[in-house]
Amino acid sequence: MEYIKQRLSAIYGESEAQKIWTGLRGKLLKAKQTHHKERKQRWDEKDVVLITYSDQFQEEGKPTLATFEKVFDRYLADNFEIVHLLPFYPYSSDDGFSVMDYKKVNPIAGDWGDIEKLSKKTRIMFDYVCNHISAKSDWFKEYIKGNPEYADFFTEMDQDTDLSAVTRPRPTPVLTKFKLEDGTEKYIWTTFSEDQIDLNFKNPFVLLKMIDVLLFYVEHGAEYIRLDAVGFMWKEVGSTCIHLEKTHQIIKLFRDIVEEVAKGTVIITETNVPHEDNISYFGNGSDEAHMVYQFPLPPLVLYTINRGNGSALTQWARNIQPAGDETTFFNFLASHDGIGLNPIRGIIPEEEILALVSELKEEGAKVNYKKNPDNTQSPYEINVTYLDALNKRSDDDDLRMKRFLSAHSILLSLQGVPAIYIQSILGSRNDYDGVAKTGMNRSINRQKYRLEEIEAELTKPSTLRSKIYRELTNIIQIRKAEHLFHPDVPMEVLEKGEKIFALTRGTDSRESLTIIHNIANEPVDVELSGEFINLMTGEDLIFINTVTLDPYQFLWLKSSN
């Protein structure tokens, strides 16, 4: 374990690291002796992730995890090898991301027995909300009381400190004023909201506490661990306070720990930032995150289908460098958050981004804004279900479904591990009642369902939900059965004209996939010759010179050489 001690010294210096090393070493030795669920090593084509809330489905008088398990068994288990349970801990705001107690399950959801039961049926991704904690947590309450053990757990700052260089993901102030029980007023660092208090990782005992949480999650079955808002963990006045070197060192330490204690546990960083900053969390390819979110993908696919032009997506995808032998991309189109815009700044001209935002607002989408250093505001994310983002309110369901399935074909065919949000496989529309109820734009894409209501829609063949569920399930099943979709199989993006997004997957000319998407609302001819098997239908096809694709049609073709 000497290398872990060296990592601690790189963060704090040898003297400070020594203060917590004995305690940490004891925790690690104990964790190694604990029986852990056997973990899959690495990933393959069968790994498709479901993103969901633990209270997504509800029945009267029953814990929501038990109800989720029913839905999972009946409709989802064959599709998804991994379930990302969004924060299922007691919380005070932000639908779970303001955690009051890291080691408890929200009583509405159930208890650790329900988590264990689900983990026997699927692999589970836990959210590790490591940057901040609820203002209503015991930790912060003890700070307010003046408990000396918690005196340095949070970042106090003079209210007049120049923090203009700090990267702001929200329009709210960096500092929030709190009054301690002794009457003293303190200004505390709050990156996201006044209810989400940033932890002070400059205090090594804070890190020790959070490592204890990390080990607790591993012990309780977490096979994937998502590091929420991780880029903001370390603060240095005068800097942007995002992506700082000490933040990278802490993530590397987390990876060191999970590989020491339970090898096969996957660390995923959530950093909604431009591509170059995002992939920096791969480290050297073997010492930091195993996966990073592919954040440009959701807005790029949306922009591509909205404009009927694949040039930007093609150019971006052609320039993606392979993740490496020990890392891969976590691909997604929709999540519990909005569709982030920062990752495509520099890929799409700003005027085009603003035009897209304006058009989507006209069609009913909501928008969240960020505060810039000059006190102006820019759109930060679009809040909308992905189904409604791709379509106008006047479109018919047939067109709506074609666009939606084409977008998900892109997601499922790219190199990496794909993740699908629960609202997407359910074919959900914008939830304006949810927005009105909570006052939060993000509620538009966070609708919860009574079990009997969602089952009635899924089992009625004529509903849009049922059609999307069946069609998307079919695509997922075909993907999982084809070894050439393994995340490590090379990808080459092809130039086939602005109305086409096309790529190949394969290791040699004898066996490969050719995947072609018409992303326009008109028929398009594509140059293509050869003998293929259509993976969607199983039929043999021969093309000489060209193939014509209908609007939004896509083909998954396997060479039959």
- Cβ neighbours for 151, distance < 8 A, ≥ 6 positions apart: 143
CATH number for the domain that contains residue 502: 2.60.40.1180
Contact 144, 181 (CB under 8 A): yes
Active site residue 162: no
What global pTM score does this model have?
A: 0.96
Given a cut of 80, is residue 179 above it in pLDDT?
yes
Evaluate whether residue 204 is within a structural domain.
no
Q: Write the pLDDT tens digit of every residue in 388-407.
A: 999 999 999 999 999 999 99
Q: If you average pLDDT over every residue of the chain, what do you get? A: 95
State the residue range of the domain holding 536.
491-559
Q: Which DSSP category does 414 fall into?
A: S
What phi and psi, each to the nearest 5 degrees, are found at residue 126?
-95, 150
Evaluate whether residue 530 is within a structural domain.
yes
Instruction: Tell me if 388 is assigned to a ligand binding site.
Output: no
User: Of residues 228, 256, 388, 431, which has the active-site annotation?
Assistant: 228
Q: Write the pLDDT tens digit of every residue in 328-374.
A: 999 999 999 999 999 999 999 999 999 999 999 999 999 998 877 77
Q: How far apart are CA 176 and CA 170, in angstroms?
A: 13
Instruction: Tell me if 337 is assigned to a ligand binding site.
Output: yes
- What percentage of the chain carries pLDDT values higher than 70? 99
Evaluate whether residue 500 is within a structural domain.
yes
Evaluate whether residue 529 is within a structural domain.
yes
Q: Write the pLDDT tens digit of every residue in 37-92.
A: 889 999 999 999 999 999 999 999 999 999 999 999 999 999 999 999 999 999 99
Evaluate whether residue 551 is within a structural domain.
yes
Evaluate whether residue 14 is within a structural domain.
no
- What percentage of the chain carries pLDDT values higher than 90? 92
Number of domains in the chain: 1
Instruction: Tell me if 290 is assigned to a ligand binding site.
Output: no
Evaluate whether residue 291 is within a structural domain.
no
Q: Write the pLDDT tens digit of every residue in 439-454.
A: 999 999 999 999 999 9
- Cβ neighbours for 204, distance < 8 A, ≥ 6 positions apart: 8, 11, 12, 16, 17, 19, 20
Evaluate whether residue 513 is within a structural domain.
yes
- Cβ neighbours for 473, distance < 8 A, ≥ 6 positions apart: 78, 79, 425
How many Å separate Cα 234 from the centre of its chain?
21
Instruction: Tell me if 132 is assigned to a ligand binding site.
Output: yes
